[in-house]
Amino acid sequence: MEVRHAIQERRSIRRFKSDAVPVADIEKMVYAASLAPSGGNMQPWQFLAITNKECRDALARIIHDEGVKFSHDMGQAMPHFIVTSLVFTTAPLVFAVMMTPFPLEEDSWFQAFRKRKNLEGRSIDRYGGFVSVMGVAAAIENLLLTAYDLGYGSCWVRIPYYAKDALERFLNIEAPRELVALLPVGIADTNPRMPPRKPIQDIFALVE
């Protein structure tokens, strides 16, 4: 399949058929992810491929229960965003994507730069602390496009902040690693249209 075709036709899929995804296909997706570019070639990603149903159900339960607890603390009914975090429940495979953050904070040159410029307390992300996030995002896109090429649907699901700690405890993810995304994968049971995109004139400028 042409890369351009996969980029054009891939959609976020939120309902799946129950057919299992063979391990050989899982490995192809992870291999594609591993070929992504990353800052300093640090390859700050790791993937748990969760096919076990009890484990997948437990993830959904944790997100639901933590969301209910959080909305109870806030004195409000369960907001809709809890439901949107549960889009992976019908997928036969869920990737939990982990990231090792780029340790810019520990870089002595960066420490000196911060001190000299009086930048103490400002977000490290402003100065490139997000380099690992960019690498992991590139790896995820490779994985999703390969899933599409292999005949599967998928969706990139961010980690709901109210459930992040509980999910990391459940999956035994310890610092410095972090859980950054859940990716349900399976044969699509829907055929959604492409959500509208901004026209390219609105998102770029030509500097000639």
The least distance separating ligand FMN from the CB of residue 167, rounded to whole angstroms, comes to 13
Q: Site map for ligand FMN, 11-30, x if CB under 6 A?
A: xx-x----------------
190 near ligand FMN, rule: CB under 6 A:
no
Strand ranges (E), the chain: 45-50, 93-99, 153-154, 157-158, 178-186
CB-based contact 129:53 (threshold 8 Å): no
53 near ligand FMN, rule: CB under 6 A:
no
The least distance separating ligand FMN from the CB of residue 195, rounded to whole angstroms, comes to 4
Asked if the peptide bond before residue 195 counts as cis, ω within 30 degrees of 0, the response is no
Tell me the HSE value of 60 on the side-chain side, using a 13 A CA sphere.
17
Give the residue with the Cβ less far from ligand FMN, 20 or 194.
Answer: 194
CB-based contact 128:90 (threshold 8 Å): no
* Residue labelled with tokens 């076990």: 52
CB-based contact 156:183 (threshold 8 Å): yes
75 near ligand FMN, rule: CB under 6 A:
no
The least distance separating ligand FMN from the CB of residue 121, rounded to whole angstroms, comes to 27
Q: Distance (Å, rounded) from C-alpha 28 to C-alpha 181?
A: 19
Give the residue with the Cβ less far from ligand FMN, 84 or 111.
Answer: 84
Tell which one of 195, 201, 203, 206 touches ligand FMN (CB under 6 A).
195
Give the residue with the Cβ less far from ligand FMN, 9 or 27.
Answer: 9
Q: Site map for ligand FMN, 77-106, x if CB under 6 A?
A: -------xx-x-------------------
The least distance separating ligand FMN from the CB of residue 85, rounded to whole angstroms, comes to 6
CA 184 from chain center: how many Å?
Answer: 10
CB-based contact 36:135 (threshold 8 Å): yes
Using Cβ positions, the residue closest to ligand FMN within the complex turns out to be 12
What is the separation, in whole angstroms, between the first and last Cα of the chain? 34
Q: Which residues from 138-167 bind ligand FMN, rule CB under 6 A?
A: 155-158
Give me 115's structure tokens. 């001190």
Binding-site ranges for ligand FMN (CB under 6 A): 11-12, 14, 84-85, 87, 155-158, 194-195
